[in-house]
Structure 1
Amino acid sequence: MGSKAASVLSRHLRSATATVTSTTRAHRLDSPVAVKELTTTILNHIRLGRLPKAISILFSSATPLPFSLYAHLFRICASSKAIIETRKLESHLVTFNPNPPVFLLNRAIESYGICNCVKDAEDLFDEMPNRDGGSWNAMITAYSRNGCTEDALHLFAVMIEDGVFASEVTFASVLASCGNALELWLSRQVHGLIVKYGFSGNVILESSLVDVYGKCGAMIESRRMFDEIQHPNEVSWNVIVRRYLEMGEGNEAINMFSRMLRMNVKPISYTVSNAILACSSFGGLREGVQIHGFSIKINAEQDQVVSNTLIDMYAKCGDLESARTVFELPCSKNVISYTSMVSACAMRGRMCEARELFDEMPERTVVSWNVMLAGYTRRLDWENALKLLILMRRKTRDVDHVTLGLFFNICAAIPDMNLGKQVHGYAYRHGFCSNVFVGNAVLDMYGKCGNLISARNWFYTMSHSRDEVSWNALLTSYARRGMSEQAMQVFWEMQGEAKPNKFTFGTMLAACANIFALEAGKQIHALMIRHGYDMDIVVSGALLDMYSKCRHIAYATRVFEEAPSKDVILVNSMILGCLHNGMSGRVVELLDAMEEEGVRPDHNTFRGALRACVSDGGVELGRKLWESMSEKYCVLPHLEDYECMVELYGENGLVDELEAFLKDLPFEPTAAMLIRVFDCSRRYKWLKLGEWAAHKLNHMNPLLPFRFQIVDDT
């Protein structure tokens, strides 16, 4: 035998022949009586579940056994994934049978493949003096089963070139490898061979073709292949439902599931689970409830896979009560369902309930800890997040890249750079830093903690694993610290390695606005147009803000007019841009256009419009805006809005309106309001109002070294 392990076993086996038992010496070693007795002993141990003992007895004997027994033992070794016993069995076979039958060697290859020992299977295949189609099939299946996709496809190509006939099993294994490698072109070639070899109509191969086309993203071909199956079975239906689900077509997955039920095909539990997952993908609570009812009817609700999926579906659709009802079923409480319920409660902000469930879990996985930790970080509850991390380190040593990413997020939010450095050291020592998710979390932590030197150094250390998220993290770190020039430099360096996204452009346009870099902003705008980026409402808002702050209101107006849609945020940005550029007169036009397009103004809209009225002296418009704010649009005024109205009346010399406004205030006037009233009273000689404002100010600040007072010049 070619493998080293088999050679060692053979030597031991030959030495064992020198110590044959006295019972065996009583007969010829290959006598029928001896063979029968040995076979009976081995089979008795097999019946009692003593596979290692049975193989040890066989291995210690020098008696060749019936080929049927070898075949039976190979099947048992494969089902038990007993690699040591498989090696002993094969060694005995080739040692005492100079020319063992090919079918037995094929069984050995199959067993090696199932035991995940591809090298043993490969050595045996290479050493075989004679092979048949089953040998090729077994080796290709072993490769495919163990993820050796390229080896499986290469061996299949050699097989076809040698003129060896491929069986249904071969084609099924090759199609599985094509799906794993996403080889659409090769899948089509294999499809042609299946038709050529006369396997059309084989429901297993047709289902495999549906599966591989779906995995490769060719859902039109997958659906066409499915429709050609004359009698699809429950596995065929499961495949098409699953592929639609994975392609993000949840509605079509539900349609196929409904069609399956109309054809009176009873779904397997995985198909029911996939249909429920499809409901989760588009928030289809109504459809999910109907499938839940069907699962009760066919008793599938008791299946843990189905019940866990139901809990997840109800949770994602916001129906925590129904999720809790399914969770309380006797069959449902396991680590997966507990984790789903904890996640659901945490996502809905019900952290107390999530923690109660978490604490009562009989066992926890690293995913369970991560879900609870993510809930605290999402709620910005850093204190409890840290406490949970400390508890986690006491209870378990299981840590994955998600745990470390959340830990770095906590260090960044506190912020605690020293703790972050310690976690960085731990991640580096345990080999997590090669994970891009962890690497980006480290980069973000250093940036948010203000250590831009460490952030930059770590960014360059990540040279072979960084992605666009890494670039964005570094850009944001510089922009957040007001280092717009450095952010611009990093942005131009980024062009040679990673493709910017909308987040990148938003950050860079804000940096340009910060330093009034109009030319750089124009270049970024041109880059977006040249490469066909989608100018959605977020990007339009960033461009508008940049042009407005750079005093190029004409470009800002053009961006606003060409925006594919306009929401209240974009209109507010345009209003502020007009105010910033001394064009407060356009604010009224914007408000009118806003009303025509059905965009409802918010508090920021009115604040900008009132500020425009103050700048232009638009008292009448300001009064109307103030009235419509609460009466028409139900927007409650903020303190800044009250101060703006005081300034509007005061600066325009309207003492009666100002006094009435101050009288109707729902609170005591602030110091800023009183100072504004006092200044206007001195300017317009409002003695009574001025004395009132001075009295209020002096009473409010009795320790001031001076007193507010109105002097009557007359």
Structure 2
Amino acid sequence: MAVISLRSFPLVSDPNDGILTVRIESQPKTKDNSGTGSLRICRNMKELRQLHGQITKKGLAQAPLSVTKLITACAEMATFESLSYARKAFELFREDQGATGSLFMWNSLIRGYSFAGNGNEAILLYLRMVIEGITPDHYTFPFLLSACTKTAAFREGFQVHGSLIKKGLMEDIFIQNSLIHFYAECGEIDSARRVFDEMSERNVVSWTSLICGYARGDHSREAVSLFFEMVATGVRPNSVTMACVISACADLRDLNLGERVCAFIGESGVELNAVLVNALVDMYMKCGVIESAKRLFDECSDRNLVMYNTIVSNYVHQGMAREVLAILGEMLRIGPRPDRITVMAAISASAQLGDLASGKGWHGYIFRNGLESWNAVSNAIIDMYMKCGEPERACKVFGFMSNKTVVSWNSVIAGFIRNGDIRSAWRIFSEMPESDLVSWNTIIGALVQESWFEEAVELFRVMQSEGMKADRVTMVGVTSACGYLGTLDLANWVHSYIEKNDIQCDMRLSTALVDMYARCGDPQRSMQVFNKMKERDVSAWTAAIGAMAMEGNGERAIELFDEMLRQGVKPDSVAFVGVLTACSHCGLVNQGQHLFRSMDVHGISPQVVHYGCMVDLLGRAGLLREAHDLIESMTVEPNDVVWGALLAACRTHNNVELAAYAAERIMELEPERTGIHVLLSNIYASARKWTDVARVRLQLKEKGLQKVPGSSLIEVNGINHEFISSDESHPQMAYITGMLHEINCRLKIAGHVPDLANVLLDVDEQEKEYLLGRHSEKLAMAFGLISTGRGVPIRVVKNLRMCTDCHSFAKLVSKIYGREIVVRDNIRFHFFRQGSCSCRDYW
């Protein structure tokens, strides 16, 4: 790889090197014995005033030539003081002589104001000149267009373009170059290109102005292409051309292209100056060639503040915070004085490291040097203190800010969220005088992160009512919330909102939609979204695999995993969790074991969650001894989830002894887990060991723990209805009871016999049958039948695992009533259609 080295080129600094070269109107040369010729060599206003005084004593102060040279000298200094002096001399001349002043005087003043950055005054002078009947010439317009450029006066510049066409001055190359520069700087790159294309003659300034316009306007590819076109026509680039095109390569992060461009530095004889070296350092940093960038930086003997800022800012973006602080230490010793960009990099580096001492030190430097008045600096300090776990200090900085911008408020909100204080973040959000999209996205994302899904969706509705348009980031948070809520109607509405509002579905949002539909029990729609994706990363494939796992389609999940590998996408640990879960849900033991062993091939060490999947896979298949042996051979410490998988399998396969052992391990790890006591109690009850049942339940009572009652949710007409087992408080309970009676009668005719083994209480059979008939999912299904139209799917979400009797109940109801019934329990989805379940009775 070829790398530019400064040893190959002399390093020069040319402060006058710029894009536009404007010719200076020259006066006819005459012999001058008045001393006015020395005005232009005055270095400051003190010298100029002294010389002007001498001219005045000779009685030549109001001579047109003297005034002209005085105005020219002041205009070249281009300071507020010099321009005020020139303007006063100009007005006195006009008053004393009763003349309008020469065109050269007007041009010099316009030029001076333009160079000083006071474009508005330059434009006003031009208008006054025209009103007084003085016709501008081809020297006037480059200065005037420069003034329009510096003040972003697009309308005035556009009118100037019209005047140029009327006056027939559009063939002047200086004016054409000025127009290209004006349009490019105003972001009107198409207009700049039209002027460029109409030029009969072009020089390096013409090409460079357009190239830089493309580079600054996020058209980096076009800038580089135009550069190669320029070189092909035989025009030699200058240092400004090279700096602009190298910056374009940096924006593209294209090292090969950048090195092709750099080859022209030597070929065209361009001398390396500080601006060009800075562009090279920036390109190498952004292309990830850190060593080359640092070598260029170290070799440069003329390192200025801009170059220091370039390298430290890039180090921050690369996450190389220690290198930032090292360079800043050198800068404080021997380099230029840090400015606000420098200290922002220092504060950001301290934040990345969580280095409170360094952050406080730089905060002190900022305070001592009066840099805290910049909002961006104060915002960076707030962010630093928040990341260092010091929200009180961050709030103190925020409180002292005289001009709190939306970014300042957002920094505080994001900081509180990072520190886990969602309530304070919500309070600050509520107090904001004005919020932007980032504010809404931040707080919605935080609510989702804290599992406040209903609040996140509700806040999204408020956001809409306030006229704030959502973007992709917003919708990722909202789709995630919908997925966890499991409400398909809401999911469909959210997807429709995305399509109607032309929100582009990038890879991240598409993946969120795939996951949302999977969690809401619509795997077909999930796969439709997945199949439309043009690009898929490992997260997208994992979401699709998860959708198939939830549907119980383990074979398709494995096919997707294999297809992912064929397309060269490297699986991560989450992808293996998804495919192993699919194998577990479908009893694909051999395939699951093969996938588990293949993790090493992909450089992934099995974690606790992967072992949990394998224990669940073996346990469901009745291989309890193998599952236990796997736990004993784990390379990591088994947690309560792993032992819980074994305990659940023991219940399914009635292994009381191993269940008791697994329960003991769980109670050692998580003694407060209510579900373990309940599950062990149920295992003892299934084995009719009522004494052991009583003992476990007494332990539960002594610890002050209560069994979580079974509850089921069903959404009808946008309203969620919750049913709790054996609870008859629903206002339509009389109709629900009647429907249940009808269902039970029709099920008996079909040959259904209630599985009383699911009632784990020591009561008579009649009581058991009554309790079994009041399970929450049965109440929800009955309500769904009486509340929805014929053929409408019934969707139920249950907080606990579905029992075998309710499973048989749902299969027969789906067949007898011709309804699709979807039940999402705490393990998986069950899709009941025409008397069959997607789990194939394996769950």
Report the TM-score, using the length of structure 1 for normalisation. Answer: 0.74
2:381 aligns with 407
Number of the residue aligned with 1:127 = none
Say whether 1:559 aligns with 2:559: no
**Structure 1 residues 120-159: aligned runs within 5 Å:** 146-148=118-120, 152=123
Matched residue, 2:443: 474
Counterpart of 2:67 in structure 1 is 70
Evaluate the alpha carbon distance shift between residue 531 and residue 160 of structure 1 in structure 2; reply closer, same or farther with a 3 A threshold. Answer: farther
Cα 1:200/1:562, change in 2 over 3 Å:
closer
- Residue 624 (1) aligns with residue 587 (2): no
Instruction: Return the offset for 1:490.
Output: 3.4
Equivalent-residue separation in structure 1 for 2:550 and 2:508 (angstroms): 20
Residue 77 (structure 2) aligned to one of 70, 77, 80: 80
- Output aligned runs, 1:608-647, within 5 Å: 608-631=578-601, 633-647=602-616
Q: CA deviation at 1:424?
A: 1.1
Question: Is 1:54 matched with 2:54?
Answer: no
Question: 1:574 corresponds to which letter in structure 2?
Answer: A
How much does 1:358 deviate? 1.0
Asked if 1:494 corresponds to 2:463, the answer is: yes
How big is each residue's C-alpha offset from its partner over 1:660-679, in whole Å with a ceiling of 9 and x where there is no partner?
Answer: 75787557877876787799
Letter in 2 for 1:404: S
Instruction: Give the conservation status (yes or no) of the 8 Å contact 1:62–1:96.
Output: no
- Aligned residue in 2 for 1:6: none
Aligned to 2:622: 653
Distance 1:680 1:457 in 2: 48
More helix by share: 1
State the distance in 2 between where 1:254 and 1:87 align.
Answer: 43
Deviation at 1:177, TM superposition (A): 6.0
Q: Does 2:369 match 1:396?
A: yes
The corresponding residue for 1:529 is 499
- Compute the displacement of 1:387 (Å): 3.6
Q: SS state of the match for residue 148, structure 1?
A: helix
Does the Cα contact within 8 Å between 2:409 and 2:432 map onto a contact in 1? no
Code of the residue aligned with 2:256 in structure 1: it is R
Q: Distance in 2 between matches of 1:675 and 1:625?
A: 22
For residue 277 of structure 1, report the CA deviation from its aligned partner.
Answer: 0.9
Once residues 456 and 521 of structure 1 are traced to their aligned partners in structure 2, the CA distance between those partners, rounded to angstroms, is 29
Query: Which residue is 2:818 aligned to?
Result: none
The within-5 A match list for 1:563-642 is 563-580=533-550, 586-591=556-561, 594=564, 599-631=569-601, 633-642=602-611
8 Å Cα contact 1:77-1:83 kept in structure 2: no
Partner residue in 2 for 1:138: none
Q: Is the 8 A contact 2:350 2:359 kept in 1?
A: no
| Deviation of the 1:321 alpha carbon | 2.2
Alignment of 1:90-109 (within 5 A): 99-100=96-97, 102=99, 104=101
Aligned counterpart in structure 2 of residue 258 of structure 1, from 198, 213, 228: 228
Q: 1:336 aligns with which of 300, 306, 316?
A: 306
1:381 correspondence with 2:354 = yes
SS of the equivalent of 1:168 reads: coil
Matched AA of 1:625: L
Alpha-carbon shift at residue 217 of structure 1 (Å)? 4.8
Work out the CA distance in 1 between the residues paired with 2:68 and 2:622. 106
Q: CA RMSD in A?
A: 4.7
Q: Quote the offset at 1:162 in angstroms.
A: 9.2
Superposition deviation, residue 305 in structure 1: 1.0
The CA deviation at 1:237 is 2.0
Residues 671/198 of structure 1: CA separation in 2 closer, same or farther (3 Å cut): closer
Cα drift, residue 319 of structure 1: 1.8
- Residues 610 and 168 of structure 1: is their aligned pair in 2 closer, same or farther, counting only changes over 3 Å? same
Q: Give yes or no for contact 1:413–1:448 (8 Å, CA) kept in 2.
A: yes
> In 2, Cα distance between the equivalents of 1:475 and 1:679?
36
Counterpart-to-counterpart distance in 1, 2:644 and 2:451: 34
Question: Structure 1 CA distance, aligned partners of 2:480 and 2:647?
Answer: 39
What residue in structure 2 maps to residue 424 of structure 1?
Answer: 398
Q: Unaligned 5+ residue runs, structure 2?
A: 1-31, 672-679, 685-843
| Structure 1 contact 370–403 (Cα < 8 Å) conserved | yes
Instruction: Summarize the Cα distance change of 1:103–1:175 in structure 2 as closer, same or farther, 3 Å threshold.
Output: same
Amino acid at match of 1:168: H
From 480, 487, 493, give the equivalent of 1:510: 480
CA 1:453/1:621 → structure 2, altered by over 3 Å: closer, same or farther?
closer
What displacement does 1:398 show? 1.4
Alignment of 1:148-297 (within 5 A): 148=120, 152=123, 165-173=135-143, 175-176=145-146, 190-191=160-161, 193-215=163-185, 217=187, 219-296=189-266
- Indicate if the aligned counterparts of 2:110 and 2:125 stay in contact, CA closer than 8 A: no
CA distance in 2, matches of 1:559, 1:48: 70
Identity, % of aligned pairs?
Answer: 23
Query: Secondary structure, in 3 states, of the residue corresponding to 2:467?
Result: coil
Letter matched to residue 120 of structure 2:
C
Cα 1:95–1:188 change in 2 (3 A) is closer
Q: Provide the C-alpha distance between the structure 2 equivalents of 1:551 and 1:562, rounded to a whole number of angstroms.
A: 19
Distance (whole Å) between structure 1 residues aligned to residue 49 and residue 317 of structure 2: 50
SS in 2 for 1:490: helix
Secondary structure of 2:401's counterpart equals: helix
Contact 2:60 2:66 survives alignment (8 Å):
no
Instruction: Please list, as runs of the form range in 1=range in 2, the aligned pairs for 1:534-545 lying within 5 A after superposition.
Output: 534-545=504-515
**Within 2, Cα distance between the matches of 1:204 and 1:44?**
27
2:542/2:578 contact within 8 Å kept: yes
Deviates more, 1:171-180 or 1:597-606: 171-180
CA contact (8 A) 2:39 2:48 kept: no
Check conservation: 2:240, 2:276, Cα contact below 8 A.
yes
Structure 2 equivalent of residue 28 of structure 1: none
8 Å CA contact 1:250, 1:281 repeated in 2: yes
How far is the alpha carbon of 1:202 from its aligned partner?
0.9
Partner of 1:137: none
Instruction: Work out whether residues 285 and 311 of structure 2, in 8 Å CA contact, stay in contact via their aligned partners in 1.
Output: yes
Alpha-carbon contact 1:311-1:324 (below 8 Å) kept = yes
**1:242–1:253: 8 Å Cα contact kept in structure 2?**
yes
User: What residue identity is the alignment partner of 1:476?
Assistant: G
Counterpart in 2 of 1:462? 433
Query: Pairwise mapping of residues 114-125 of structure 1 onto structure 2 (< 5 A)?
Result: 116=113
Q: How far apart, in 1, do the equivalents of 2:644 and 2:40 lie?
A: 100
Shift of 1:529: 1.1
Aligned CA distance change for structure 1 residues 296 and 398 (closer, same or farther; 3 Å): farther
The 1-side partners of 2:635 and 2:36 are apart by 99
1:359 is the counterpart of 2:329: yes
Residue type at the aligned position of 1:306: L
Q: Deviations over 1:516-564 (max 9, x none)?
A: 4544433322211112222232222222333333344444344334444
CA–CA distance in structure 2, aligned partners of residues 298 and 574 of structure 1:
54
Helix, strand or coil for the counterpart of 2:370? coil
Cross-structure match for 2:13? none
Give per-residue Cα distances to partners, 1:375-401, cap 9 Å, x unaligned: 333x35343553443443465321322
Q: Is the 8 A contact 2:608 2:642 kept in 1?
A: no
Deviation at 1:421, TM superposition (A): 2.0
Shift of 1:107: 6.2
**Contact between 1:484 and 1:515, CA under 8 Å: does it hold in 2?**
yes
SS of aligned partner of 1:540:
helix
Q: Cα–Cα, structure 1 residues 605 and 534, in superposed 2: closer, same or farther, change >3 Å?
A: same
